[in-house]
Amino acid sequence: MLDLRLYMLQRISALLMGPLVLGHLAVMIYAIQGGLSAAEILGRTQGSVLWFLFYGTFVVAVSIHGAIGLRTVAHEWGGLKGHPLNVFMWTTGAGLFALGARAVWAVTFA
Amino acid sequence: MTIERGPQAAQAQHVFEVPAYDNQTVLDVVSWVQQNADPTLSYRFACRVGMCGSCAMMVNGVPRWTCRTHISKVLEGNAVTIGPLRNLPVIKDLAVDMDPFFDKWVAAEGVHHGALTRDDPIPPVDAASPARVEANAGIECINCSVCYAACDTVAGNPDYLGPAALQRAWTLLNDAKDTGRVAILDAVSNKGGCHNCHSMGSCTTYCPNELDPMTAIAGLKRETAKSFFKRRR
């Protein structure tokens, strides 16, 4: 069900997410000092290549990591296998990517 | 003693009153039932000294080698429940079909891969080398299938090769006399391979010989990850 390729993809995406999660938490703590407003967030992110790359990478890593992880849950707990299992994985990954990419685009270059 | 019999074992419970003796194993009690109460009871054993690996059963819901488990250790209020091993098809009563277990042993390349003939000298084995120490840690497996029955990943994923087969693959990978490195790494990288292990550790907890299949599987994950990057270059 999980071969070496999927395993490595999930581990590498986890490695990527490690520092990104820490960065995200740090910015959250920094950003809420003295209240939080949409204007403040957008002021930081709009037009920023750095934040686009930061959260863009995050979204790609989450889509890969989450889709493979949920694939395992769907197989072991849900009994899904073969073609339907692959469809489930790709749909989950594409869905996560669409949601995340839309949000990242909205706060950076939209 | 409650014995769960048949494929729907949990629904077919037979209760037997058995005499208590100071010294008896779970297997002794099962044998007493077969010899004195119900001669139709089927179960499997051979050596009775913990070497052959044929008498494993579920005892109060956990897998144990019954010939080396003293009944006093497992009694709950003077009662005990015995069932066929988990994760394997039941043939009859307490005897399970071990074929899937041994088929996976072979599928994990748990076979000797030799490259020498009888005319070649015997390759030296350095007992202190790190690889040999790794191999030695897993070679006392008696194929009892206790780890396979204990494994929740096998329960949820029938293709998974399981702890015993993967541990044998790991011992062969570290064996100076075995030349099957590529075949083994490929076999344990397939869809039922070592990467399905969730490291829950039931194999290591329940192994009656106190082996550590979970660490062996972690070793396979490490080696396959290394070879993943090497082969890409």
Q: What are phi and psi of B57, to 5 degrees?
A: -145, 165
β-pairing verdict for B81-83 and B2-4: parallel
Given CB atoms, is B196 within the 8 Å cutoff of chain A? yes
The CA-based angle B195-B219-B86, given to 5 degrees, is: 55
B177 shares its domain with B130: yes
Q: What is the pLDDT of residue B1?
A: 92
pLDDT tens digit string along A28-73?
A: 999 899 888 999 999 999 999 999 999 999 999 999 999 999 999 9
Comparing CB atoms, the residue among A8, A11, A76 nearest residue B157 is: A76
The residues pairing with B2 across neighbouring beta strands, listed in sequence order, are B15, B81
3-state secondary structure of B59: strand
- State the pTM of this model: 0.90
In which band, very low, low, confident or very high, does the pLDDT at A1 lie, cut at 50, 70 and 90?
confident
In which band, very low, low, confident or very high, does the pLDDT at B7 lie, cut at 50, 70 and 90?
low
Distance from CA of A71 to the nearest CA of B (A): 12
pLDDT tens digit string along A14-40?
A: 999 999 999 999 999 998 998 889 999
Topology adopted by domain A4-108:
3 helical TM bundles of succinate and fumarate reductases (1.20.1300)
Distance from CA of B160 to the nearest CA of A (A): 8
Residue B129: give the domain boundaries: 99-232
How many distinct structural domains can be found in chain B? 2
CA distance B223 to A8: 12
Given CB atoms, is A42 within the 8 Å cutoff of chain B? no
Which residue is listed with tokens 């490595």? A8
CATH number, domain with residue B57: 3.10.20.30
B117 shares its domain with B225: yes
CATH number, domain with residue B204: 1.10.1060.10
Average pLDDT along chain B? 94
CA distance B102 to A93: 37
B120 shares its domain with B202: yes
Distance from CA of B88 to the nearest CA of A (A): 17
Domain end call among B53, B75, B96 = B96
pLDDT tens digit string along B112-127?
A: 999 899 999 988 899 9
